[in-house]
Structure 1
Amino acid sequence: MRRIALLFTLLTALLLPAAATAGPAAPDVSRAAAERALDEALDAFREPLAASSGPAAGSREVTGALRDLAVAVPALGKADRRRARSLLARPTDKNDRAYFGKEASDSPICNANFCVHWTDKAANKPVSGFFLGQILASVDLSRAVENGTLGWRDAKSDGRLGSRKGKGAEGQVDVYVTNLGKRLYGYAAPDGGQRGQRRYAYLVLDNNYVGFPTNPLDSMRVTVAHEYNHILQFNYDVYQDLWLFEDTATWAEDKVYPGINDYLNYLPAFARKSSRPMTGRSIKIYAEAVWNHWLSANYGDDVVRNTWRVSPKQKSFAVAAYNRAIKDAGGPGFGRALGEFFAATAEWKLDADFPDHGEYPDVKRAGKLTGRKKTTLDNTSYRLYDVEPSADPEATLKVRAEKGTETSISLVGRTGGGVVTTETAHLRKGGTGTVTIANPGAYARITAVVANVDGSSKVNRKGKRVYKADGSGYRVSLKG
């Protein structure tokens, strides 16, 4: 927003809610890191949104880029702060990179919780009035499920921001409809000018959803459920790790619309890349919704919401937040639970803990386990190995993990009739462990699971979090 300082100050005083109360300190963002965040946000808007092209899958990256930028703004220089505010501005702002044109005369339509805004500009206007009505119905349903059934905290009020012609001045969540092109479903963005862990935000949706894997109305619906969950997340902890933002929002999609199953489009990224960390920033983090589905099945839906609730006291660190929430739900903590989840994925097509499990792809095996193998694994990653069923009385997996690396090992047997048996050992501080499955010849398939479930981290001299157990070495052998 290229506004003069005085005008910005006056608008802030008139429109924005009172500043957040003091809470945990903001992350210490360096100038270099802030400039990288600005560059990434600029890249997301490098071309006019409507000019985007290419495959739709994996195109929800704008929310993360704008979140990173919102947190980084205070560390930017004066000129870069102006550029950042322009990127964070709403589509109704003429200085916004994504300005959608003059707002339609009868825009917005509002209820007690939401306002939907649009333009009549040819390129950006919604496909129909019916479509606008469906958007309002979808945000209402998303709120009913996410805030009502699942018990999430309401979105933070933005006061009078977005109000027009006397409508939308009660802190409703503002939803803007415009042409986002073919590679972007939608995004949520915290408004500029805020500090603190809990922030208000707005939501932007495409005007027709043509060109996505799912039909247009269903694509819009799951996008609303996904991005609205980001709006709620911003009122818990805007500083949280990106992977928790996305695996939770993708999980929420299926809670609101269990029959659409758009998340299945992302599962190949998980099934093919089990040796990549859960804690990354690739498309895989959307597929990690299955981790939350597994947690929900074993500890209840509240465990996901409570991960966000405890986040501020866990220093905005996803592993620690999950650990606390799992223990509070009566579970064993993050590492053990993750090991059990990884073992479950070996035969997840038969596991009722996973919704739609019959549609899941097989998790890729790293080959057949014969003799001895050496391998390395980064944090929160694992490998599956095929084990040949034999006539021996038992089969034993022996693993020597790097000292200090929390590890989980399993043997998973599936009979021809679909009965699954799992034997697991947990090595809290690494070292050597074994796990044995009896009568291996009774199984149609046996899988060995070797998992680095260590999520411990430290902050390096550059202020970047690094995971201590990355590159951990393993010696793996099979007897029997």
Structure 2
Amino acid sequence: MIRPRTPWSALVALLATLLATALAVTALGVPARAADPDPAPDAEEVAEHALETVQDLVEAPVEPADPAAGDVEGKNLTLALRDLAVTRGDLPDSKRATAARLLARPTDSASECLNEDLACYGSHTVKRKCNTVVCVHWVTSGTNAIPTENDGAGGAFPGVAGGTPDYVEFTLDTMRNVANTYVRAGYKKPISDGGADGSSLPDVYLGNIGSAGAYGYCTTDEDVSGHVAAPAYCVLDNNYAEFGILPRSALRVTAAHEFFHAVQFAYDVNEDGWIMEATASWVEDELYDGINDNRAYLPYGPLAKPNQALDAFTQIEPYGTWIFFRYLSERYPTSVAGLPTIVRDIWRRLDDGGSGDANTYSLQGLVDELAAKGTNISTQLATFGIWNRRPLLYEEGSAYRPAPLRKTYTMTSSARTRSVGFSLTHLATGTYRFTRGSGLVTSKVTVGLNLNTLSIGAAAVITVKRRNQGAVSRVVPLTSDGNASVSYAFGSTTEWIEVTVANGDTRYNCGDMADDQQSYLYTCQGTPQQGSSSQAISVKVTG
């Protein structure tokens, strides 16, 4: 799990490089999955790349963080390990033992703990305590030892004096809250592992993974392939002392994020990475509203980069894409157990082994859920673009920076017309502002739109700001060709108008990863059928 801190600095480049190669394997798609295509490059090459990615993540040096400079801390492991888990069957025999060791629980291979292992208890005595939802495992000696504090409620980790260390009690209480909330909200429970390590409950291990730059991860040690449900085990750091954040807060949001991955595995272990990470980052703030750690991801998502595709996953974009699911949660606020139901209902549509359509996943599940609510992705993207330009529309929007404009033009008596040509990638938005400049008298402004066709996802919203009034936004009715012409008063009280356009194109060539493409990019490990197209806005002031 990546855990960025406030602004961003030295480790961004390291994480971007690692993550650009970390997400290589998942074959998912829109609009519906036919037979899974043969991967290119070949399956063995993809599996070897997945193994190398995990090894690189584990072995890369971790530089000391400087919170004052806004350093990023942490590494993503969950999806890299997932990719290794679902492809290790394609590895050559000589490399399968290495993959098995990297996917092994800390309690496995007790006689051998190698430097590249993530967490390994070795010969140290392992202790275990369970509640009704999880079992927590730990050791009290060696590099993976937990804090031994056991002084009850007054210490760094509140607990009950005597018996179990406070850190374990706090972890158990946190996991109980997280797991029970997900169940009450209607999510599936994680799949049983059949009694591994003594219980059929999900297992959580405490280990010194912070020293390797990780806050936590969940993965599976079972042989899995394709779009199936899978059990998961999780590893959390043994003290959260390395990251410059209050350890209690770090443990809580990490537990919420990572255990949500275990829940996702119960729907489809091989789901699209962008929606897995975006919704796991979204749920952190839903469970622990006062921590707000996921705000640090916003500089990499659509709030700060509206021109970026919603499903892009070349580096760390999805961790900032949680804001889209926050937007949907506030637009459709029906909730159960404090969690907005729209995300749960999307995941139900992605359930390859349950109530969902086995051919529906990722973006298609989102599209279908919006259709069930009487709307569509294009309209919601355009409105999302407005919220991001006016973040006070969000409940916590005073803490968000407005999305940037693409460009601003000033209309004057000598410059009464503007023609703006542009292209916009799929699942992205862009906003242009036209201000009222000098020399204009009472007048009107006519905005002409020549966008993509409605059938491939064009949408637009125009916002008008008049002096001493709030900005007013309206969706523009488009013709089937994506065209429109609308007029507004543009008198002396008008400050500006903004045109927000959206490209809701959901057409993909799924599974067509190029021979030299070793990174996970978009939905269904494919490419958009039309990456971007030429569009135009014309503005004319008259009177």
Tell me if both proteins adopt one fold, taking TM over 0.5 as the criterion. Answer: yes
CA distance in structure 2 between the partners assigned to 1:407 and 1:213 by the alignment: 44
Equivalent position SS for 2:135: strand
Asked whether the equivalents of residues 36 and 511 of structure 2 are also in contact (C-alpha less than 8 Å), the reply is: no
Greater relative CO (CA pairs within 8 A, separation 6+): 2
| Structure 1 runs of 4+ with >6 Å offset | 23-27
Distance (Å, rounded) in 2 between the aligned partners of 1:429 and 1:237:
36
Q: Percent identity?
A: 25
Greater shift after overlay, 218-227 or 292-301?
Answer: 292-301
Matched, 1:135 2:171: yes
Q: In the alignment, what sits opposite 1:152? A: 187
Superposition CA RMSD, Å:
2.9
Q: Structure 1: where are the runs of 5+ without partners?
A: 1-22, 164-168
Partner of residue 472, structure 1: 533
Distance of 1:265 and 1:440 partners within structure 2: 41
**In structure 2, how many angstroms separate the alpha carbons of the residues matched to 1:428 and 1:79?**
60
Q: Deviations over 1:309-336 (max 9, x none)?
A: 11132635311010112222x2312232
How far apart are residue 242 of structure 1 and its match?
A: 0.8
Deviations, residues 259-297 of structure 1 (Å, cap 9, x unaligned): 111111111223332111111113221111111111112
CA gap of 1:460–1:293, structure 2 versus 1, over 3 A, is closer
How do 1:166-185 residues align onto structure 2 when only pairs under 5 Å count?
169-181=199-211, 183-185=213-215
1:304 to 340, 343, 347: 343
1:155·1:232 contact (CA, 8 Å) conserved in 2? yes
The one of 103, 115, 120 equivalent to 1:88 is 103
CA-to-partner distance for each residue in 1:387-446, whole Å, 9 max, x for gaps?
A: 214665544433323456422222223556673311223658654334555457545554
On the 8 A contact 2:216/2:235 being kept in 1, the answer is yes
Does residue 61 in structure 1 map to residue 57 in structure 2?
no
The residue number in structure 2 matching 1:325 is 369
SS of 1:384's equivalent in the other structure is strand
8 Å CA contact retained: 2:378, 2:502 = no
Letter in 2 for 1:478: V
Tell me which amino acid in the other structure corresponds to 1:360.
Answer: Y
Distance 1:210 1:413, change over 3 A: farther
2:7 aligns to what?
A: none
| Counterpart residue type for residue 422 of structure 2 | T
Write the distance in 1 (CA, Å) between the matches of 2:267 and 2:462.
39
Q: Contact between 1:314 and 1:321, CA under 8 Å: does it hold in 2? A: no
**Structure 2 CA distance for partners of 1:368 and 1:211, relative to 1, 3 Å:** farther
Q: Is the 8 A contact 2:444 2:491 kept in 1?
A: yes
Over 3 Å counting, the alpha-carbon distance change for 1:305 and 1:315 in structure 2 is same
Kept after mapping to 2: 8 A contact 1:56/1:182: no
TM-score (norm 1): 0.84
User: How many residues in Structure 1 have an aligned counterpart in Structure 2?
Assistant: 446
Residue pair 1:278, 1:380 contacting (<8 A) in 2 also = yes
Q: Which moved more, 1:390-399 or 1:206-215?
A: 390-399
Which has the higher mean CA deviation after the structures are superposed, 330-339 or 441-450?
A: 441-450
1:380 aligned residue: 427
- Helix, strand or coil: the match of 1:162? helix
Letter in 2 for 1:321: G
- Provide the residue aligned with 1:17 in structure 2: none
What is aligned with 2:409? Answer: 369
Structure 2, unaligned runs of 5 or more: 1-32, 149-164, 335-339, 411-417, 515-524
Aligned to 2:267: 236
The answer to which of 174-183 and 109-118 deviates more is 174-183
1:172 Cα offset (Å):
3.1
